[in-house]
Structure formats: C-alpha cells, structure tokens
Amino acid sequence: MKNSIYKIVFSAILGLGALAPIATFATHYTSDQAVQSANLETKILQTLDADKMYDNIKYLSKTPRVAGTKQEDKAVAFIEKQFESYGYETEIQTFTFSDYTTPHTVELAVDRYSQKINPLPFEYSANGVVSAEVLPAGLGKAEELKSLDLKGKIALLQRGEISFLDKITNVIAKGAIGVIIYNNADGTILGSLGEENTAVVPAVLLTKAEGEALSGHLKKHPNSKASLKIEGAKTDSNTSHNVIATKKGDSEIGMKNSANDILVISSHHDSVAKAPGANDNASGTAMTLELARVLKNIPTSTEIRFITFGAEEVGLIGSTHYVEHLPKNEMSRIVANFNLDMVGSKDAGELILQTIDKKPNLVTDLAQEASEKLNGEPTPYNQGDSSDHVPFAKAGIPAALFIHNPAEPWYHTADDSIDKISKKKLQDVAEIVSIAVWNHVRMDKQEK
Ligand code: BES
Ligand code: ZN
C-alpha cells in the first residue's frame, strides 16, 4: 500500500478488537453494521501477512511444479493442508489432459531440389516415413480437390481459410499419405491439430518463402518425389488437479438477493518445466491461500471459493475443466472471478488488471475502487488472455487477471526463484484484492 493513512484512520476512529461475536453479526442485520463492516475491513488489512505469503512461496518454489508430475502432487497436498489448517473443507478435482512430445526428427527431402528447407511439425503431428510424388492442391478445400488424384501422394497446400486439420482430413479423404502446408504470411508459425488424432498422416509446416520456392520447383519438375520423415512424437495422458476451498455465505436465504452469489478467487499452482515458478505462480497461489486465511472468520453475504488450478501452463486446462464441469445452477451463481497470476516479482512493473475484451467489468470496477481508496489512484487495465480468467470470461462471468506489467525478465526461466519476490508487492496486491472482494461481500452492502 502506498500510504497507510486509510488504515491508520480506521484503526484510530474505530479501535480494534471490538468485534461483535460472529454469530450475532451474521444473523441480525443491525444499524451498527456499517461500523462493524469498517471494523472488519481494518481487521482484514491488519491480518494480511506478507511473511506468510513469502514463506508459502518459498516452500512451493523449491522445485518446478509441472502439471502431471509428483512435484505438482506435492504442491497440491501442501495447498490442501494449508486450506484445512485455516478450517476449510477442501475438494480436490482431478482431471486428465494430453501432453504432446514434439518429434526429435522432422525431415523433408525433395528430389533434385537443393534449397534449404526447415520443416516444422504441428502439435499432434503423427510419426511416419513416406516417400511419394508431391502434388500441389491449393488450400485443400474439399471443392478444390474434386478432380485431383492424390492417392498415394504427398499434398502440398497453402495455409488459409480452413483449419490445418480440415485441410489434412480433406486430402486424406482423397488418398494422400503425407502433407506439406506452407504459410500464407511471413514468419514461422507453431501450428496445432488441436488434439491427438490417430487418423492423420505425417504433416509438416514450411514458411511462405520455402513453400513458394518448392511450388516453383514443382512447376518446372512436375511429378517430383519427396520423402517425409517424422519420428519421436508421442502423446501421453496425464493427471492434474484443482484444489477448491469453499467459504459459505453468512446471509440467511431471503435476507439478501446476493445470498446465492458465488465469488471465485483463483490462481494456478503449476509451473513450466525447469522453472521454480516463484512468481509464476507460487505468488498467486500463496495469495489465494492468504486471502482464504484472512477471510475465514469474517462474515460475508455471499459464498467465496478459493481455487488453485492445475495445468494452466499446458493451456488453461484446469480452469477450463472447472468451468466446463460446473453444474448449471452454480454457473449462474458465479458473479466474479479474481484471478491472481505473477503478483510478487521485484523486477516486474506496476499492477495492472487484464480482461479478455479490454472492457471494464464488476471485478475491474471493484479493484479500481479499492486501489483508489488505498493508494489514491485506480489500477490501470488492458487486454490479456493468457491465464485462468479466460474460461470464466468466455462463460460470461465478469473476470480479470491481476498481474504486474511489464513481466520480469526471468518469467518462465530457472531464475524465477524466491530471491526475486517482493513482500511489498505481495502486500499491495493482497490489500487491493481483499478490499475489492470485501466491498462486494460485506453484510451491509446496499443492494439495488
Ligand atoms: N503467467 C503467465 C501469463 C502471463 C505472463 C501474462 C506474462 C502476462 C505476462 C501464464 O502462466 C502463462 O504462461 N500463460 C501462457 C498461455 C497459456 C494459454 C498456456 C503464455 O502466456 O504463454
Ligand atoms: Zn502464470
């Protein structure tokens, strides 16, 4: 927090430790509630403990926590134990995901063609060795292929209009045994076939320049043969977990419209390979734990779920699984997702909020109000779709990512270690998030 005037004023005016017993507070909507609420707010700010977050980051970042590994399991057990030590009932949601290993060998050789080619595999490219005539087949759209005989041939296609997988499927239907696709724009692309697919034949990607040069060669030398080799690709099935701790709301049903609402505070606990992931994302995980600890015995009008997701780094798998498997009635009850990812690096820039559409929503409004109150200025926001707020936002739930911008240079490297963590940054973000959440869940909030 940049200045603590707010904290001091409240402490001085209201005094501390004069909280009404929680049961009384929760059931009787009294005229004292505004005072009690301010008192609780002070209590929240004073209970937040950057040392606790730091210690949990230190523990979690002893090793990388790649989804599906024993190290992830160990982190999951630790997170569960922490939630339980604060008094929460915790659920572990287990899911599987596939993990594609890129081939160690990808080769393409064309007869009487000496120009350099650097073929790239697709994610989920199949292994295989084929040797056959290469036939240009346009964009690979079904209608273009009608009069082409691709039986036993390698199809040469251009990127565009339809997906890579659709192109490959279309030429396979015409008998092709291998596929070369070249880019329609400058630069290299990392193409994907989406998922493991046993029906596909060996397929590679070339740059625009490589593809055009090869097309030119085939015009001069039609019926040229090529050999295409892909070896070492494999798809493993892995298991990862989400850890969910739930704090039920304290409103009596009927007392408040919001009594049924659910607010989700989330982070991902997995890391990329070789990175201890102190900031990405032991920091968000430790902050989720700390917010759970601090809010445990504070009466709230709505339910709060604290979730750490697995397999974020593999493609937002845990959060997508969570959102896709929500019972319908719970989906409609979730009113906000506060997602914390990379919230404690000394070497990153200032806090920003990211939404997938760059538009404000309930979460950014609450966070801006909180940071204005705490620091005298609203937190800026921009567009971003690289973390677990995305599946919530896509499901129509107001969601935002809390992250420092620009990111630290060690992000996703072996240097993302505990020595780069700033307790002050952790404290500042935790204060903003806790006050933003509090302003929505406090019992005296006026409903429209
Ligand atoms: N914490 C990062 C996201 C991030 C990093 C956002 C730097 C903004 C600045 C996250 O864990 C991550 O690495 N996400 C992936 C995308 C995801 C869909 C696999 C990424 O950004 O590559
Ligand atoms: Zn991350």
Query: Is ligand 1 within 6 A of the CB of residue 403?
Result: yes
**Dihedral angle, C-alpha 241, 311, 322, 263, nearest 10 °:** 100
Residue 369 alpha carbon to ligand 2 centre in Å? 25
CA-based max dimension of the chain = 89
Counting ligands in written order, which one lies closest to the CA of residue 382?
A: 1
pLDDT beneath 70: ranges in the chain: 1-31, 253-254, 448
Query: Is ligand 1 within 6 A of the CB of residue 387?
Result: yes
Residue 386 alpha carbon to ligand 1 centre in Å? 4
Q: In what order do the strands lie in the sheet with 334-340?
A: 90-101, 234-247, 303-309, 262-268, 334-340, 399-405, 350-355, 381-383
pLDDT score recorded for residue 36:
83
pLDDT score recorded for residue 6:
39
**Tokens standing for 289?**
């734990």
Atom 3 of ligand 1, nearest CA residue: 386
CA distances from 265 to 287, 335, 336, 378 (A): 10, 11, 8, 20
Output Rg (C-alpha) for the chain, integer angstroms: 27
**CA atoms lying within 13 Å on the CB side of residue 326:** 21
Name the 3-class secondary structure at 302: coil
pLDDT score recorded for residue 31:
59
pLDDT score recorded for residue 144:
95
Query: Is ligand 1 within 6 A of the CB of residue 396?
Result: no
Query: Is ligand 1 within 6 A of the CB of residue 342?
Result: yes
- From 272, 308, 352, 387, the mutation candidate for ligand 1 (largest count of ligand atoms within 8 A of CB) is 387
235 — phi, psi (to 5°)?
-120, 120
- Asked whether the beta carbons of 225 and 111 are under 8 A apart, the reply is yes
Contact partners, residue 448, CB within 8 Å, separation at least 6: none
Counting ligands in written order, which one lies closest to the CA of residue 384?
A: 1
Atom 14 of ligand 1, nearest CA residue: 386
User: Where does residue 146 fall: left (phi above 0), alpha (psi -120 to 50 degrees), or beta otherwise?
Assistant: alpha
Query: Is ligand 1 within 6 A of the CB of residue 316?
Result: yes
pLDDT score recorded for residue 227:
97
- Ligand 1 atom at minimum distance from 390 CA: 18
